[in-house]
Amino acid sequence: MYTFSIAEHIWSLLKEDPLWSLCVMEDKSAPMDWARTNKALADILAADNALLKRLENELAPLEGKQNALLLVTDLEALHPFLRIGAIESQLQGKFHVPTVFLYPGVRTGKTRLKFLGFYPEDGNYRSVHVGG
């Protein structure tokens, strides 16, 4: 079993970004400007599809490994920057081992989910949903 922590990779991407120290400095100058802070962090995470590439790089070496299982954890760390459906859809055809996304949300139908229970329903998930 292998684990891919979204929270750990987000933190790593932020710290490795050359603009990280500028973001921290700007945040200190206006700590209550959440819209600006969230946009800056989202821009870093979306740049060059970095998070998607990290997940893809985690999946690739598992291909062909018997009994391999990848658990994708800490999806709540994506809020308010990204949605896992956007990442999952770009990796279609690259899941060669069972991959379980521990999704914090509410099922509202057979294929519909509300991320964190308050985002609008999203029916674009191609995966099988287990739980309620």
Is position 25 within any domain? yes
How many structural domains is the chain composed of? 1
Is position 124 within any domain? no
Using pLDDT thresholds of 50, 70 and 90, give the confidence band for residue 118: low
Is position 132 within any domain? no
Is position 40 within any domain? yes
Is position 123 within any domain? no
Task: Specify the DSSP element, H or E, that contains 15.
Answer: helix 6-16
d(Cα 45, Cα 49) in Å, to the nearest integer? 7
pLDDT at 119 over 70: no
pLDDT in tens, 14-34: 999 998 888 888 888 888 888
- pTM for the model stands at 0.78
What would the 3-class secondary structure string for 20-79 be? HHHHHHHHHHCCCCHHHHHHHHHHHHHHHHHHHHHHHHHHHHHCCCCCCCEEEECHHHHC
**Mean pLDDT in residue range 94-102:** 87
Using pLDDT thresholds of 50, 70 and 90, give the confidence band for residue 73: very high
Is position 131 within any domain? no
More confident residue, 122 or 97: 97
d(Cα 61, Cα 58) in Å, to the nearest integer? 7
d(Cα 89, Cα 87) in Å, to the nearest integer? 6
Q: Provide the residue range defining the domain that includes 101.
A: 2-115
